[in-house]
Amino acid sequence: MIRLNRRHALGLLGATTGSLLLPGYLRAQGARRSITVAVQKITNNNTLDIWNEQSNVGERVFFPNLWEGLILRNWMGDQGPVPGLATSWSRIDDKTIELKLREGVKFHNGDEMTAEDVAFSFSPERVFGDTQPVGGSTIFAENYTPATAKDLPASVPGIGRRLWPALQGVEIVDKYTVRFHNATPDVTLEGRLYAFGSQIANRRAWDEAASYAEWAAKPVTTGPYMVAEFKPDVSLTLVAFDDYWGGQPPLEKITFVEVPEVSSRVNGLLSGEYDFACDLPPDQIGAVTGTPGFEVQSSTIWNHRISVFNTQNEVLADPRVRRAMTHAIDRQAIVEALWAGQTVVPAGLQFDSFRSSDMFIEGWAAPEYNPELARDLLKQANYKGDAVPYRLLNNYYTNQTPTAQIMVEMWRQVGMNVEIEMKENWAQIHDPAGIKGVRDWSASNLINDPITPLVVQFGPNGEAQQKKDWTNAEMNQLSVVMETSTDHPTRKKAIARMLEIAEREDPAYQVLHQNAVFTGMRSDLHWKAAPAFAMDFRASNWAAG
């Protein structure tokens, strides 16, 4: 086993006793406070569209401050469903759900939200293009070429069918009542309504925008804050929307600034330049908590860090090589070394919350750390030492780079030659040109059912298959079972088999650890971090005087 030492904590550069600058919110006495939040990344594709920006960083800036759905996620609690833009919902049958809309909800442009906006938000024009409500086959971005500036990006229809594989459409019953009609039975319709993507947009703002890019830089929504200015790769400024249906927001302005380097985020926090610093690694906690007036909020979240294999690579086409790679990794050593034991190695791509619906596969575990087995599998595969590329971003995920370096060394110790290739952005990670091999990712529990993440991320319209990293015919058949069956034993049997395929027989990925978030902040703000990437700045979570 490799011996790993934790990195030394960062010194308190730029912070001297009694000389801290006043944070932004104190510079305007007598007004509502404004805050500045330092993040590693604001969005990955320079839009504020919840269908186009399906990412962890997007969750942080979108929810619950900007975008809202008919059903909301209980961000500060169990992450379950709570009433939102709909006050109630009920099943008509296995394919249909009816929702009563909240009356008097205003969009940022002053329009009242009605059933027309809901139907538009799930329309072919907004999401699905000409895709059909059937699952089981992959929709590739290259199948769609935007013809005008107003057309959807090529990837969005496939993402739409990833999250709503069989939605036929939304029926307007009356001004404040809608029915969602599915082509097949689906036990997860309620969950899909509060998942990332199912939020409501204003129809008129879409129609009036000159282009999709213009609309996506300043979408008109119903949240407590609205977009004032978006500078891609620099900053996003949200301002209070005082006609918010949930009451006046407590902050005048929230500015998210992009600060890629951890040390800069920490130093900016301690000097008073920022009020919050996100995505801190555990070895920076002492630098923050050791300074009077600062604290770190932390928790594990419904997100697991994983690595994904590309089976178009000639070496990785052999599942024995991928299996060897999964058995070469000492996950617990990584958790102890880089996370100070403040997270856990999960039971494969599962979440404890699945137990609430009896969908957790007991006795399942991530592949055991077994270097001898890894060496034997490489020998069986007649592996000759050919290099496998590892496309890597510089700490997009917390501790991403040191984790990659540790894994490369662990693979080397069993005879596997993996070479890191540093990339600047996700477009370069997914670039079909050149040879792919291994890449990093994370997997989230979006709707408290194992359909997420196994089907949503690795099924036929999951990103892994849409990006041509991996595919498996039986996995796709079982995905349809998970999406359409209403029989609990059948669904549980299907998910158990999917774990066997994707983590043992034909590995699509390897699970590393459950993700955790560490957010540095001023102690006098009395704000609490959600067990999620999202940052809640609604009145219910802002107690500072």
- Phi and psi at residue 58, in whole multiples of 5°? -65, -40
Domain parsing of the chain, residue ranges? 34-262+525-541, 301-517
Averaged pLDDT, 523-543:
95
Question: Who's near 478: CB < 8 A, 6+ residues apart?
Answer: 494, 495, 497, 498, 501
> Hey, what are 406's tokens?
């540790």
| pLDDT at site 31 | 82
pLDDT number for residue 543: 81
Largest CA distance in the chain: 72
- Residues 215-222: what's their mean pLDDT? 98
Question: Distance from CA of residue 169 to its chain's centroid?
Answer: 26
Tell me whether the omega of the peptide bond preceding residue 453 falls within 30 degrees of 0, making it cis.
Answer: yes
The residue whose two tokens read 């205003």 is 106
Q: DSSP string spanning 310-329?
A: -TTSTTTTSHHHHHHHHHT-
Q: Which residues are 421's β-sheet partners?
A: 391
Residue 3, pLDDT > 90, answer no
Q: CA-to-CA distance for 210 and 224, rounded, in angstroms?
A: 25
> By percentage, how much of the chain surpasses pLDDT 70?
94
| 253 has pLDDT over 60 | yes
Would strands 294-309 and 235-240 be described as parallel, antiparallel, or unpaired?
Answer: unpaired
Task: Look at residue 333 in the predicted model and tell me its pLDDT.
Answer: 98
- Going by the DSSP 8-state scheme, the letter that residue 542 receives in this structure is B
Positive or negative torsion for Cα 259, 263, 266, 267: negative
- For residues 230-240, give the mean pLDDT: 98
Question: What percent of the chain lies above the pLDDT cut of 90?
Answer: 92
Q: For residues 299 and 529, is the Cβ–Cβ distance under 8 A?
A: yes
Can you give the pTM of this predicted structure? 0.92
In contact, 65 and 254? CB cutoff 8 Å: yes
pLDDT tens-digit series, residues 8-25: 322 322 332 333 344 444
Q: How many CB atoms lie within 10 A of CB 49?
A: 25
Alpha-carbon span 392 to 419, nearest angstrom: 10
Segment 30-57 mean pLDDT: 95
pLDDT band at 135 (very low <50, low <70, confident <90, very high): confident
Return the HEC string of 92-135: EECCEEEEEECCCCECCCCCECCHHHHHHHCCHHHHHCCCCCCC
Summary count for the chain: helices (H), strands (E): 17, 16
Q: What is the mean pLDDT of the chain?
A: 93
Q: Which of 36, 61, 35, 63 minimizes the C-alpha distance to 46?
A: 61
Distance CA 380, CA 320 (A): 7
CATH architecture of 301-517: Roll (3.10)
* Alpha-carbon distances, residue 107 vs 177, 203, 249, 250 (angstroms): 18, 10, 15, 18
As given in the structure block, the two tokens for residue 333 are 């050593």
Does residue 27 have a pLDDT over 60?
no
pLDDT digits (tens, 9 = 90+) for 306-348: 999 999 999 999 999 999 999 999 999 999 999 999 999 999 9
| pLDDT > 80? residue 507 | yes
Strand partners, 253: 34, 239
pLDDT value of position 193:
97
Q: Could you confirm whether domain 34-262+525-541 is CATH 2.60.40.10?
A: no
Q: DSSP letter string over 165-194?
A: TTEEEEEEEETTEEEEEESS--TTHHHHHT
Confidence of residue 30 (pLDDT cuts 50, 70, 90): low
Cα–Cα distance for residue pair 460/455, rounded to 1 Å: 8
For β-strands 235-240 and 225-231, DSSP reports them as: antiparallel
Measured N-to-C along each axis, helices 319-327 and 371-380 cross at an angle, to the nearest 10 degrees, of 170
Q: What is the pLDDT of residues 386-438, one digit of tens each?
A: 999 999 999 999 999 999 999 999 999 999 999 999 999 999 999 999 999 99
Give the pLDDT confidence score for residue 19 in this predicted structure.
Answer: 32
